[in-house]
Amino acid sequence: MWTGRPVGELPSPAFTVDLDTAKRNAEKMRDRCKALGVVLRPHMKTHKTLEGGSLMTGGTLRKIVVSTLAEGRFFANGGFDDILYAYPLPFDKVEECAALAERLDAFHVLVDSHAALSLLKKRPLSHGKRWKVWLKIDCENHRAGLRHSDPAALELAKAIAEGATKLTGIYAHCGNSYSCHGASEIQAVARTTTALTLKFMDQLKEAGVSCSICSIGSTPSCSHPVPEMAQLSEVHPGNFLFYDAQQMMIGSCQLEDIAVRVLTRVIGHYPHRNQMLVDCGWTGLSLHSLGQLPTGYALVEGHPNLKLVGMTQEHGRIEPVAGKLDFAQFPLGSLLALIPYHACATAAMHPVYYVHSEGRVVTTWKPVRGW
């Protein structure tokens, strides 16, 4: 119903995706991986849409990563295959994983414990199919995974490689790249994660454990890859389709690479407190910047002197960074474009994304939600 209409007519708040920018981001990442000689297995968690997945895979609909089983089902039903559920195997979802593993060419699961592995061993797949299992290792990111240097990691890898399960890949997430500032800090993290992952692969080889794939990822590291990453088989960044203010501040992208906005309208003028209200609260943006940007909870496109100082459920409060607000410049009903701090979090608040090109809506995307 919105197709063909100017973006400025959209009901607000609206989550918009600049299709040309998103396409360019997807192509750049594919080119970067091609030049490096590694397979790109993009992560779907930021956008959670079939269309975004198609752009990221260059239309192949093969080799993706998902963060929830709901995404796994959604992408499988949407024609995708070779799906890695890169999440410590949840004990309540083994049967559903088995159904996907039996139905798809390749539905990979991930473990970092013997307890999880034993659930897989206890539930062999039909027709003698072996579970494709990845081992998650922790290369200084300190979230999930067995530490790369922990002998238990090698032991678990060996156990995975036996019987009803097959050791398909080694997975490391360099989420610690999110605390970097600038390409050289990002590259230092990428270099360390790569080196530790490759060292682990060498240990596997020495131990006679067969494993063909190793993958690291994060949008910062894959936006500034180091040459050593050429020795990996895969990378798995996700945010890069959209990018956001956080990625810009980390140094992963430039302002012009950010494909998403939240459109919002001015709904109130309050000159006595030098403030205006807009129709975007935390249901439209999330609280993810924690207000720590110099411009508060978001960047207001084209208005560096505006600061989104606070949000309640459906209201945003905007003040000037300095001086008096020129209310005549922002009449009631006028439109502002907020550049989100964290695109994953902002996208998660919207049941529909309005996708535009050259100022007009070209389509809408509907993300999957839940688990």
Residues in the chain: 371
Does position 366 interact with its own copies (CB under 8 A)? The reply is no
Specify the residue, 111 or 161, whose C-beta has the smaller distance to its own copies: 111
Residue ranges in 49-68 that form contacts with its own copies under rule CB under 8 A: 67-68
List, as one string, the DSSP characters of 278-332. ES--HHHH-STTTT-BTTBTEEETT-TTEEEEEE-SS-EEEEESSS---GGGS-T
Does position 99 interact with its own copies (CB under 8 A)? The reply is no
The dihedral sign for the CA sequence 49, 246, 30, 234: negative
Helix axes 151-160, 183-206, angle to 10 degrees: 60
Does position 345 interact with its own copies (CB under 8 A)? The reply is yes
Nearest to 68 by CA among 46, 45, 47, 52: 45
Does position 244 interact with its own copies (CB under 8 A)? The reply is no
List, as one string, the DSSP characters of 50-61. HHHHHHHTTT--
Residue ranges in 140-199 that form contacts with its own copies under rule CB under 8 A: 142-144, 147, 150, 175
Cα dihedral 140/143/145/151 (nearest 10): 50
Does position 296 interact with its own copies (CB under 8 A)? The reply is no
Does position 113 interact with its own copies (CB under 8 A)? The reply is yes
Closest separation in Å from C-beta 363 to its own copies: 17
Helix/strand number for the chain, H first, E second: 11, 18
Does position 318 interact with its own copies (CB under 8 A)? The reply is no
Specify the residue, 158 or 269, whose C-beta has the smaller distance to its own copies: 269
Does position 108 interact with its own copies (CB under 8 A)? The reply is no
Tell which one of 2, 74, 75, 87 touches its own copies (CB under 8 A): 87
Closest separation in Å from C-beta 206 to its own copies: 24
d(CA 370, CA 44): 14
Amino acid at 294: P
Specify the residue, 7 or 38, whose C-beta has the smaller distance to its own copies: 7
Does position 90 interact with its own copies (CB under 8 A)? The reply is yes
Does position 323 interact with its own copies (CB under 8 A)? The reply is no
Helix (H) or strand (E) segment spanning residue 350: none
Count the alpha carbons within 13 Å of 75 in the hemisphere toward its beta carbon: 34
Does position 370 interact with its own copies (CB under 8 A)? The reply is yes
| Contacting residues toward its own copies, per CB under 8 A | 9, 11-13, 45, 67-68, 87-93, 112-113, 115-116, 142-144, 147, 150, 175, 265, 267-269, 272-273, 277, 279, 282-284, 286-288, 290, 312-315, 317, 331-333, 344-345, 348-352, 369-371
